[in-house]
Amino acid sequence: MQRRAFTACLLAAPLARAALAQAPFPNRPVRIVVAFPAGGGTDIIARMLQDPLQAALGGTVIIENRSGSSGMIAAEHIARSAPDGYSLLMNITTHVQAPVVLRRFPYEPIKDFSFIARVGTGAITFMIGPAVPASVTTLAEFVAWGRGRPLSFGNFGSGSTSHAFGALLAQEARLDATQVAYRGEAPMLQDNLGGQFHGGFHSTAVTNDMIAAGRIRPLATGGPVRTPSLADRIPTFLELGFSQRFGFVGFTGVMAPAGIPQPILDRIVGAFRRVLSDPAMDARLRALDLITGWIEPAEFRSFTEGIMRQWVEMADQLDLYQSTG
């Protein structure tokens, strides 16, 4: 009896997938699960895309925030969701970074996902707030002020680029800095503005208004080139003589559970291709200092595999495993 039931399930599965592929899509709301809290850079981008995606898909798109474990809670949730096209993940580079650093793989970062769209790549910037004297306005001045003091650096998640760059800055500048992990950039920013730590790496998508108001001071940017909105005054770490490891850039992207029927997957990819190829949307994303440009899902997957290999090397070099606690 059990064998017959098991066989029946095996035979029914392909039929269910076929029926799913033939059903109108979407016929209920599509969820984009954002791996970080509302108000952070990833959330801002997701909500920017929401209305255009609804028009492109011809259905409702809702945003759901599931933060924690450097994006792993949201990623695991999506990896275990039904592969029907109604559950998507918007995550950043921590998608592959966090499992490596935390040495915990509740999901396979590549195999368990269908790759939909790389929204953009971008660097993050080291910024200081009121915990540091207002007279400190350059990275050299910060290093001179901070050397010999017990410092604390905030980051938006253990295993994130923000975490690694904080550890890298402490190592290369010979600073004594404790890393403080947050459940995303929004709460991290609030504590930087409140003087709860001495500095941290932020995205300009979240901080540009605070920079303009003088509430937070950018000192140097990661990545191979200057961040566009700060290019007239803020150098890169590479320009300042730091190692090539500061040339690393992260990504923001959209994924889904592996195994989505191809017609539905094609529909979703087509909607993102249409939205992200629109010049007006491209300009809005570039205003957030993202480097844009559509690449096909297979290339996005290969790109992410390369990022994961890079991150294993970075984690080994900086011993990020121990510093996550």
22-68 residue pLDDT tens: 668 999 999 999 999 999 999 999 999 999 999 999 999 999 999 98
pLDDT grade for 315, boundaries at 50, 70 and 90: confident
54 and 61 in contact (C-beta within 8 Å)? yes
Which CATH number applies to 12-121+250-323: 3.40.190.150, 3.40.190.10, 3.40.50.300, 3.30.499.10? 3.40.190.150
Q: Where in the chain is the domain with CATH 3.40.190.10?
A: 125-247
0.75 exceeded by the pTM? yes
- Compute φ and ψ for 294, nearest 5 degrees: -65, 135
Sheet with 87-92, side-by-side order of all strands: 61-65, 30-34, 87-92, 250-257, 113-122
Q: What is the C-alpha to C-alpha distance for residues 182 and 159, in angstroms, rounded to an integer?
A: 11
pLDDT computed for residue 203 by the predictor:
94
Q: What is the C-alpha to C-alpha distance for residues 281 and 51, in angstroms, rounded to an integer?
A: 11
Sequence-distant (6+) residues with CB within 8 A of 285 are 45, 48, 119, 120, 276, 292
Class of domain 125-247 as given by CATH: alpha beta
Q: What is the C-alpha to C-alpha distance for residues 78 and 255, in angstroms, rounded to an integer?
A: 9
Q: Which helix (H) or strand (E) holds 177?
A: strand 176-181
